[in-house]
Structure 1
Amino acid sequence: MIAAAFQGRLGGFSLDAAFHAPMRGVTALFGPSGCGKTTILRCVAGLQRLDGVLRIGGEVWQEGGTFLAPHRRPVGYVFQEASLFAHRSVRGNLLYGFERATRGASGPPAIGFDEVCDLLGLDRLIDRSPRHLSGGERQRVSLGRALLSQPRLLLMDEPLSALDAMAKAEILPYFERLHARLDLPILLVTHDIAEVERLADRLVLLRAGRVEAEGPLNDLLTDPALPFARTRGTAAVLVARVLGKEPGDGLLRLDLDGQAVLVAGVSPEAGTAVRLRVAASDVSLTLDRPSRSTILNVLAARIVTVAEAGEAEVAVSLALRDGAGQRLQARITRRSLDALALAPGMDVFAQIKGASLSASPSGCAPE
C-alpha cells in the first residue's frame, strides 16, 4: 500500500492532502487546474519538500526525520512534454536510464529492454532521432525511458495534455497495455475525465489543495454526493468478463455481475476482464422487463439513491444483482420519476441503449 500525506504552503497556495493507493494499477489524481495535483506528484518524487508522510509498500521515504533524496527514490517520472536527449537516438534515450539502473545489479532487471520496446511499439523507431518523431512517438519513448529506470513507482503528470486528439488516440492503447501487463503502481495526474474513465482503477478527487474523496473509480463516479453524478455526460465504468463471441452476428457476450451483456468489439480471450463504459444518458428505466425492443441489454437493478441533476432532471444511482452489485447511473426527467413513482429500494429494469468497451483492467475486480 502507498500512504501519502503532505501539508504546507507554497506562496498563496495551501496543501493539506492525504490518500492511499494500492501497489498495482492506476490511481488518478483528478481535479481542476490549481488544485494541487502536480505538487503532490513532486512531493512523492522528492522534488518538492513539504511536511508529511510517504510510505511505499514497507519502505519509509518520508516521515519524521527521514527524507529520501530524489536520486534515492526509485520512481519513473513522465512529464507533459517528452524531454528527450536530442543528441541521442531513441535507443540511446532508452539505454540512458536502463544502464544507470542496472549497473552492478546482481540479477536480471525487473523490466527488460526488449519487453519495453515490444510493450510500447518502439522497435521500428529505435534508430531514429527524437527530431523525427511525432508527439505521440516522443511520449512513448519518454515513457519507455522512465520504465527502463526500473522504478518501483511510475509518476505521470498529464502525459497526454500536450497531444492533439489523433496523437492521443494513437498512444492510449499503449498506456492500456502498460496497465494490463506490468505489476507496477502508477500515479496519474489529469484533469480529463475521459482519461480517468479509460485508464484509472482508483480515483483521488482533489479540490483547492484538499482530498474531497478517494476510492475505487466507479464508486466515486456513481456517488450522488460528488459532482460526477450531477454532470451531463457522466458515465459508469463497470468491470465485466468475456464469455465469448456470439455465433452469427459477431457480438461479444459479457458477464456483468451474473447478467449477460452484448456489445460490439474485438474478441478478447474468454475469461478476460474488460471495462464497460455506460453513459447515464444511455440508461432508461422500466418497471417491467420489455419483451420486444431494439435495446439488447436489459439489466435487473435496484434504485439506491435519487439526486437532483438540474431543474428538470434527476440522477438515479442503481446497483446491479438485486442491489448487491456494481453501480451505474441513469439520468432521467423528473416527470418520468414521478410517473413511475420511482424511489430508493425499488427493483427496476435498466435498459442500456449504448455501452462501449474500454480497456482491459487485466483481471482487476471491482472493490
Structure 2
Amino acid sequence: MDSSDEKLGESNAARSDIIQARFQTSYQPRANHHFELNVDIEIPSQGVTAIFGESGSGKTTLLRCIAGLESNITGFLRVNGELWQDQKLCLATHKRSLGYVFQEAYLFEHLTALGNLQYAINRSVQPADSDFLEQVINVMGIKNNLSQLPEQLSGGERQRVAIARALLTQPKLLLMDEPLASLDTPRKLEILPYLERLRSSFNIPIVYVSHAVDEIVRLADHVVVMRNGENIAQGNVAQLFSRIDLPLGIGNELGAIVECTIVERNTEWHLMRVAFDGGSLWLPVVENSDNSTLRVRVLASDVSLALTPHSDSSILNILSGQIVEVVNDQEPAMALVRLKVGESYLLARITQKSLQSLGLVSGKSIYIQIKSAAIVR
C-alpha cells in the first residue's frame, strides 16, 4: 500500500457507515497455477453485501483477508470507522469483532445446540444477555433443537445453530462463506427465510459470499463482482443486475430486479398490482401487508418487445420504455437488450432475427411485454 492509500484511509477515518478494504496477495494453490488477489472495495456497513463470482474468482480469499486469516498480504481494512489493518497494524483474527459462518457448520459435536450457543456467549467481550439470546433463538427458529446434539440435527438446523452461535459473539461484522453450498435444494429453501429474518432483525453488516444467483437476488442489497482475483464492479443489487456487461447470470438466469410497492389487490382473480417508477405489474397475490415493498425479478427470457401496444394478448404487463443498449448474447442466435423504464432498467433476450426485423437500436422507443415476474423478497 502506498502513501496515497494511507491518506485515503485517514480521510475516511471518521466515517462509520462504510467498510473499506484493500488487499493484495499472491500464491500458488496448485502446480502450474498462480493466483493473485488485487481488491479495492468500499461497501456500506449495513444490510447484506454479496461477494459474487465464479469458482476461483477470489471470493473466499477476500473473505479470509477481511477475517485476518490470510498471511503474506498487503492490506488496509477499516470497519465502521475502526482501523483493523494497515501498514503498521494488523489485528489478529480473535481481536477483530467479527463472526464467521463457513460452508460447513463446524459445531462442537460433544455439546448440545444450547451448549454451542453458550460457548459463544462465554467468549464474547460483552456477553449476550438473556433477551438477546432469546431473540437469536427465535429469529433462527432453533428453540426446539436446543437439547439436541449436532449429530441429531439436519443440515439446515446445524447451519442455523452455527449462524446463531456467530451472532451471539455480538460481532460488528458477520462473514458468511457460501453457507448454503453444502445443503440440498429442500434444505436450502428451508434456510433462506431465516437468512432474510436475520438481515431484517439485527443491525449487523453481513458480507455474504456466493456464486448462486438465486441467493444473491433474494438476500443482497449491495454486490461486489469478482473475476480473476479482482473486483470488476460493485453497487446496488438492482443496478448491477440490470447491466449486460457483467457475468451475473447467463442464458435463462439473466434478469433484472425492481423494487415495487403493492398498490392494489384483486380478490376475484387472485392478483395484485405492484408499482415501481416505470409503471406497474400484475402478479399473483402473496401474503403481505398493504403498501408493503417487494423485490421482483424479471428474467430477460420472459420479456418480449413490440413496436406497438397489443391489447389482444394474454400478457397483462405491457410497459413503454426505451432501448439503452444492445449486445450479442453468448448464443449466436440471441441478443441482449437493455431497456430503460422510468428510472429503472429491464433486460430482454431475443433472437437476432427479431432484433433485425424490428429494427431495434439504442434510443428507440419500444413496448415491453412481460410474460411473468417472480417475487424474490
- Both proteins in one fold, TM over 0.5: yes
Q: Which amino acid aligns with 1:69?
A: A
Aligned residue in 2 for 1:83: 106
SS at match of 1:67: coil
Deviation at 1:7, TM superposition (A): 0.4
Q: Distance in 2 between matches of 1:72 and 1:228?
A: 35
Aligned residue in 1 for 2:86: 63
Residues 199-208 or 225-234, more deviating: 225-234
179, 196, 210: which one aligns with 1:190: 210
| C-alpha contact (below 8 Å) 1:6/1:16 kept by paired residues | yes
Deviation at 1:224, TM superposition (A): 2.3
Alignment deviations for residues 97-132 of structure 1 (CA, whole Å, 9 cap, x no partner): 123326578xx69x8111111111111112211111
Aligned residue in 2 for 1:363: none
| C-alpha contact (below 8 Å) 1:218/1:238 kept by paired residues | yes
Aligned residue in 2 for 1:14: 36
Q: Which amino acid aligns with 2:368?
A: A
Q: Distance in 2 between matches of 1:239 and 1:14?
A: 37
Distance 1:216 1:104, change over 3 A: closer
Aligned residue in 2 for 1:339: 357
Aligned residue in 1 for 2:3: none
| C-alpha contact (below 8 Å) 2:265/2:285 kept by paired residues | no
Is 1:36–2:54 an aligned residue pair?
A: no
SS at match of 2:166: helix
SS at match of 2:191: helix
SS at match of 2:298: strand
Aligned Cα root-mean-square deviation (Å) = 1.8
Aligned positions, number: 353
Aligned residue in 1 for 2:337: 316
Deviation at 1:41, TM superposition (A): 0.7
Q: Distance in 2 between matches of 1:349 and 1:98?
A: 57
67, 78, 88: which one aligns with 1:45: 67
Q: Which amino acid aligns with 2:50?
A: A
TM-score (norm 2): 0.89
Alignment of 1:9-158 (within 5 A): 9-11=26-28, 12-49=34-71, 50-101=73-124, 103=126, 112-158=132-178
Q: Distance in 2 between matches of 1:121 and 1:259?
A: 38
| C-alpha contact (below 8 Å) 1:244/1:269 kept by paired residues | no
Q: Which amino acid aligns with 1:329?
A: L
TM-score (norm 1): 0.91
Q: Distance in 2 between matches of 1:336 and 1:197?
A: 29
| C-alpha contact (below 8 Å) 1:29/1:203 kept by paired residues | yes
Aligned residue in 2 for 1:354: 372
Deviation at 1:221, TM superposition (A): 2.1
Q: Which amino acid aligns with 2:22?
A: A
Structure 1 unaligned blocks of 5 or more: 360-367
Alignment deviations for residues 251-293 of structure 1 (CA, whole Å, 9 cap, x no partner): 1221121522111142211232211011100000112222132
Aligned residue in 2 for 1:260: 280
SS at match of 1:240: strand
| C-alpha contact (below 8 Å) 2:121/2:127 kept by paired residues | no
Q: Percent identity?
A: 42
Is 1:327–2:345 an aligned residue pair?
A: yes
Q: Distance in 1 between matches of 2:171 and 2:209?
A: 17
Aligned residue in 1 for 2:12: none
Is 1:170–2:207 an aligned residue pair?
A: no
Q: Distance in 1 between matches of 2:176 and 2:367?
A: 40
Structure 2 unaligned blocks of 5 or more: 1-17, 29-33
